Amino acid sequence: AESESKGKIGIVGSGLIGKSWAMIFASAGYNVVIYDILPSQVKDALASVKTQLKDLNKSGMLRGSLSADEQVSLISGCSNLHDTVKDAIYVQECVPENLELKEQVFKDMEAFVDDDTILASSTSCIAPSKFTKDLQRRSQCLVAHPTNPPYHAPLVEVVPSEWTNPAFMDNAKKILEEVGQVPVCIKQDSPGFVSNRVQYAIINECWRLVTEGVISAEDIDKVMWAGLGMRYAFIGPLEVMHLNAEGMENYIERYGPTIESVSSTFGPTPNYSGPGLAEMVRQMKELIPLDKLAEQRKRRDDRLAALAKLKQDFDKQ
């Protein structure tokens, strides 16, 4: 009965990200309908989601208060776009990262939805204005960019275009919060949004330090997971500053000049080709041979799931 009152969510594209969104919305009791241009993909996605929810349940990592079976029963497949998005309160587009494709899919979707349906794209880096500018319902469109793996890393960057109706931003944020994600609002056009910009700043400096021979690839990764990453799992860099002195102002008094002088040695964006690349590839293959990637991904996902659980338990206290 609860499922009936919750409303319908449409998922368009049922690859890696579409499947994750389906499980997230079902965990909060929404009726989820998934669609894909390949009917076989819908069938595979339903089977995969079922297995994943049961496994999550077994390991105590299932989100929400419904049982795995209840969550499975909330997710259904559909072979056409019309029935997937019609009467949905929220649609999450998850088709491949291609501007023309997104343009077409949004054009197709807008013909079938209501005046208050939120049309959200999972795009990692395409500005929403690019694929919504010619739409009738462009005020209903926005980007809701998840973080991989979305089930365990809840950040969602919510990005409006200049014509997105602010009420749709608010409602999207509300729904995302309700299903347990952590939405942040990107207020201005920003290439790469924000999460990837910060990630690229980190990658740039790691790349430079390894290719200039300051540190090995193995050790720079330790700097993150044994050091900075330990605290970033719980507090951000600005709170780190605020707590590591008597507040932000005092931190800057003490360390501001050092930050400026070290940062002035960063130099331009590193070169991602040539001998630097060859050396980086060599070190990474030695650390993790390519035939061990699947194993290492499993290790990563298990650990992320356990961390997500720990964080949830802290939040409940």
Question: Helices 195-211 & 274-287, crossing angle to 10 degrees?
Answer: 90
How many Å apart are CA 118 and CA 116, to the nearest integer? 6
Number of residues that bind ligand NAI (CB under 6 A): 23
Q: Is 37 in the site for ligand NAI (CB under 6 A)?
A: yes
Radius of gyration of the chain from Cα atoms?
22
Closer residue to ligand NAI (CB): 79 or 312: 79
Binds ligand NAI by CB under 6 A, chosen from 146, 154, 160, 270: 146
Measured from the CB atom, the residue of 15 and 64 that comes closer to ligand NAI is: 15
Q: Say if CB 119 and CB 135 are below 8 A apart.
A: no
Alpha carbon 21 to its chain centroid, in Å, reads 10
37 versus 284: smaller Cβ distance to ligand NAI: 37
Confirm or reject binding of residue 14 to ligand NAI (CB under 6 A). Answer: yes
Cα–Cα distance measured from residue 199 to residue 105, given in angstroms and rounded to the nearest whole number:
29
Q: Which stretch binds ligand NAI (CB under 6 A): 34-42, 172-180, 226-234, 253-261?
A: 34-42
Q: Does 196 bind ligand NAI (CB under 6 A)?
A: no
Should residue 17 be labelled a site residue for ligand NAI when binding is judged by CB under 6 A? yes
Residue choice 59, 65, 79, 148 for contact with ligand NAI (CB under 6 A): 148
CA proximity to 107, closest of 133, 145, 77, 89: 133
Binding mask 76-115 for ligand NAI (x = CB under 6 A): ------------------xxxx---x---x----------
152 within 8 A of 301, measured Cβ to Cβ: yes
Report in angstroms the alpha-carbon separations of 297 from 211, 257, 315.
25, 40, 27
Question: Could you list the residues that contact ligand NAI (CB under 6 A)?
Answer: 12-18, 36-38, 41, 94-97, 101, 105, 122-124, 145-146, 148
